[in-house]
Structure 1
């Protein structure tokens, strides 16, 4: 099966719908392991990130579940479903858009940013360090850093686009689920990446600012790929469970 966007649905939705239909028709039975991510990507002629988004969408729907060190399985009692709910945009697609747009925003900002705005960015980075240390959810400082750069571009349309892309991170159930998984395995805003962006802006170097932003968001995509691997998530769950057992043991002393 070759998927396309001509049906007005995103690729991950087409793949998720096709697998859900196969489950309903009995091609994949309750308790049965689905083909590997690589095989599904080849079967549906899509990328592995698209397959991963489809798997997370199916998990949200209650049709499949991840099993540690084993793979993705059809649930023993899948919830009754009509048509698949609209899950909106995935984190890979969203971050790819941010990489394209925010790279150019940073280049423009490098030519127009003020000393006051540079000081503000440095202060926001301090807040980002605190949020990382305290495991604050919501990435408020990270969002402020990127929106401040957009405002330094002196283009209100670009500010609106950047803010909309950030807001979409929390409006989309699929994107929220993927970002939460990334946080569970320790993914946090990269301070060193943001420092490189700030240095390029301080140098008023548009090309360096563009490259720093694009490289940063490229690494975000790589981190999401790693963080949403089944084994990575299951390792995190196992470690949390082990810590809870150890805490209970110590509390009993």
Structure 2
């Protein structure tokens, strides 16, 4: 049942509508489980990330419930199904936002490395120190934003700094926040902090290519963290009730990326 794509509309919204129609028709009954992300992507001939964005949208609407490690279930009549305002129906999907950042921010970091001075590096150091000591997701997000905007601000271009900030703020939309709620925890923020340090070091060293690669790697790893399968990223401990991350493929660490970049310079 491949999806007939309308190029004028966001793909994840089309997938969400398609699944909503199937649910309403009884194809996926109330209380039943939807096929896995991989199965849906294969059937519709679309990417898994687009399917994930669609499922997150349906969950925000109250149509499905995502049980990590178990599956995606159609909610019963008692569920509060929200009517998404027309403005939200056209908001960018989480992976669309992350991809836009991956295109733009590596070049900003590279340019920052050519202009870095002790004041700019000191500003990044202060943010990183606060990140290391902070607790709570909202504080982490605020400091994450400060870090990326500070890099753009070092170029003395108000338009660019404002644009980076506005692009980052898109992660506060309801779909991105719901997606992040499944994948962000102290462990992932610790990884992000280590990646930020590699970016900072490359900028402080005045190495544009290292800064570019470090930022690109950081944003790619961010996408990878949000792309883990709901069934693969966690197992439920029946004793503690806690969710433990399980990675199938290890990504390059920030230290390995730094060493690789150094070897390229040699």
Q: Could you state the TM-score of these two structures normalised by the residue count of structure 2?
A: 0.79
Structure 1, gaps ≥5 residues long: 243-253
Q: What are the residue-to-residue correspondences of 1:95-110 with 2, within 5 Å? A: 95-110=98-113
Misfit runs of 4+, over 3 Å:
2-5, 67-70, 78-85, 230-242
Task: Give the secondary structure class of the aligned counterpart of 2:3.
Answer: coil
CA contact (8 A) 1:108 1:206 kept: yes
Find the aligned partners of 2:196 and 2:203 in 1 and give their Cα distance: 11
Structure 2, gaps ≥5 residues long: 244-266
Larger mean CA deviation between 38-47 and 99-108 belongs to 38-47
What does residue 247 of structure 2 align with? none
- How much has 1:5 moved relative to structure 2? 5.2
Cα gap change, 1:241 to 1:108, in 2 (>3 Å): closer
Q: How many residues align?
A: 237
Q: What are the residue-to-residue correspondences of 1:169-184 with 2, within 5 Å? A: 169-170=171-172, 172-184=173-185
Find the aligned partners of 2:57 and 2:144 in 1 and give their Cα distance: 26
Find the aligned partners of 1:149 and 1:127 in 2 and give their Cα distance: 16
Cα gap change, 1:4 to 1:23, in 2 (>3 Å): same
CA contact (8 A) 2:106 2:216 kept: yes
Find the aligned partners of 1:73 and 1:224 in 2 and give their Cα distance: 20
CA contact (8 A) 1:109 1:154 kept: no
- How much has 1:11 moved relative to structure 2? 1.2
Larger mean CA deviation between 72-81 and 98-107 belongs to 72-81
Larger mean CA deviation between 192-201 and 61-70 belongs to 61-70
Relative to total residues, which structure has the larger helix share, 1 or 2?
1
Cα gap change, 1:169 to 1:237, in 2 (>3 Å): farther
Find the aligned partners of 1:230 and 1:197 in 2 and give their Cα distance: 32
Q: Could you state the TM-score of these two structures normalised by the residue count of structure 1?
A: 0.83
Larger mean CA deviation between 94-103 and 68-77 belongs to 68-77
1:120 paired with 2:134, answer no
- How much has 1:210 moved relative to structure 2? 0.5
- How much has 1:31 moved relative to structure 2? 1.9
Task: Give the secondary structure class of the aligned counterpart of 1:188.
Answer: helix
What does residue 34 of structure 1 align with? 34
What does residue 12 of structure 2 align with? 12
1:130 paired with 2:166, answer no
CA RMSD of aligned residues (A): 2.6
What does residue 247 of structure 1 align with? none
1:148-193 Cα deviation digits (max 9, x unpaired): 10011232222122011111111x1101111222235843152211
CA contact (8 A) 1:113 1:201 kept: yes
Cα gap change, 1:81 to 1:238, in 2 (>3 Å): farther
Larger mean CA deviation between 186-195 and 77-86 belongs to 77-86
Find the aligned partners of 1:235 and 1:160 in 2 and give their Cα distance: 41
- How much has 1:144 moved relative to structure 2? 0.9
Q: What are the residue-to-residue correspondences of 1:58-69 with 2, within 5 Å? A: 58-67=58-67, 69=69
Task: Give the secondary structure class of the aligned counterpart of 2:100.
Answer: helix
CA contact (8 A) 1:89 1:175 kept: no
Find the aligned partners of 2:154 and 2:148 in 1 and give their Cα distance: 10
